[in-house]
Amino acid sequence: MGIAFPFAAIVGQDEMKLALMIAAVDPKVGGVLAFGDRGAGKSTAVRALAALLPPMSAVVGCPYQCDPADAAAQCAECRARSKPSGRSTTGTGTWCALSAAGFFALPLGATEDRVVGALDLERALAHGEKSFEPGLLARANRGFLYIDEVNLLEDHLVDLLLDVAASGENVVERDGLSIRHPARLVLVGTGNPEEGELRPQLLDRFGLSVEVKTPADLPTRIEVIKRRDAFETDPAAFVAHWEKEEAKQRKRILAAREHIASVKVADRELENAARLCMALGTDGLRGELTLMRAARAAAALDGAKAVDDGHLKTVAPMALRHRLRRNPLDDSGSSVRVERALNELFATCATAPRSGPMR
């Protein structure tokens, strides 16, 4: 992948950076969709986060990079290996090793075979054996699958990817093969809305959606140009200069991953989330679930013990703006509608405080 631009050195684009960090802390949030202007740093931010993430332990020789500490999420082969005689071999030198967090980009012209995997024709012809050749979904397990120009990807591939991202499993039934393997990945899509929009049902399947705009103030634009030029002039020196800040961000993500299970969500915040989704008319309950998970991850990144109103306000636009129905009587943008609903909700809450037990 080459030397990536440091995540900590990205100027502005705070919402996109936060959304990516939330997805890195809790993959169950459902991935990130970043739509916006060309040349505004969407791809740079995604690749920068992948380089920022700490290495992970993985089973040696496993094509799916299974987690040695999570037997329930392992493939069948790793589960069989982990208890050859009724006891786990986790911790032995041959069982696990550190592996870089996976980051794979999906080309627009990729075939379904390349994505999900297929019969290994070379082995079948040479040895007469049916063998599975893993695809991108296998290699991206426990990592990131990045789709640039996601709005131009063929619909059947987008459907397939979103289903796998939601279930965490890839099932291949073709060419005489019957394969089931883990595919827990963070799906990240970027695109320019001028080149086409995603179908509403596909938008809803992404956990978070961010709007990426070209900086409008002069100092920010100048700083972006200076940092990009410095990076391209001497990438190694630029990365070394930002290493301390990168280490702080990496430590923050690791601490949030450890801390998130203990972050409490009060009934009051769950009620606020539900009231907000009802006011905006979102379909189903995916909006509330994503809002709660994103707020909890944001609280974990802050080192907070519980989700508060501030966390809910911060993540609500990215969790809900892409779930709104079109209102022919309201030509306001989705972000404006979410902000307006937030203001009305918390104005009401201020006059009628509620409390509830922690979850």
Scan for tokens 């996601």, then name that residue.
150
Distance between CA 70 and CA 68 in Å, rounded? 6
Distance between CA 209 and CA 193 in Å, rounded? 13
Give CA 309 to chain center in angstroms: 23
Active-site positions read 286
Distance between CA 117 and CA 164 in Å, rounded? 13
Q: Please state, in angstroms and as integers, the Cα–Cα distance from residue 179 to each residue in 111, 157, 197, following that order.
A: 18, 19, 33
CB-based contact 152:195 (threshold 8 Å): yes
C-beta contacts of 236-240 below 8 A and 24+ residues apart: 236/3, 238/6, 238/9, 239/3, 239/6
Distance between CA 65 and CA 184 in Å, rounded? 11
Q: Sign of the CA dihedral 104, 107, 113, 119?
A: negative
Distance between CA 33 and CA 209 in Å, rounded? 5
CB-based contact 301:21 (threshold 8 Å): yes
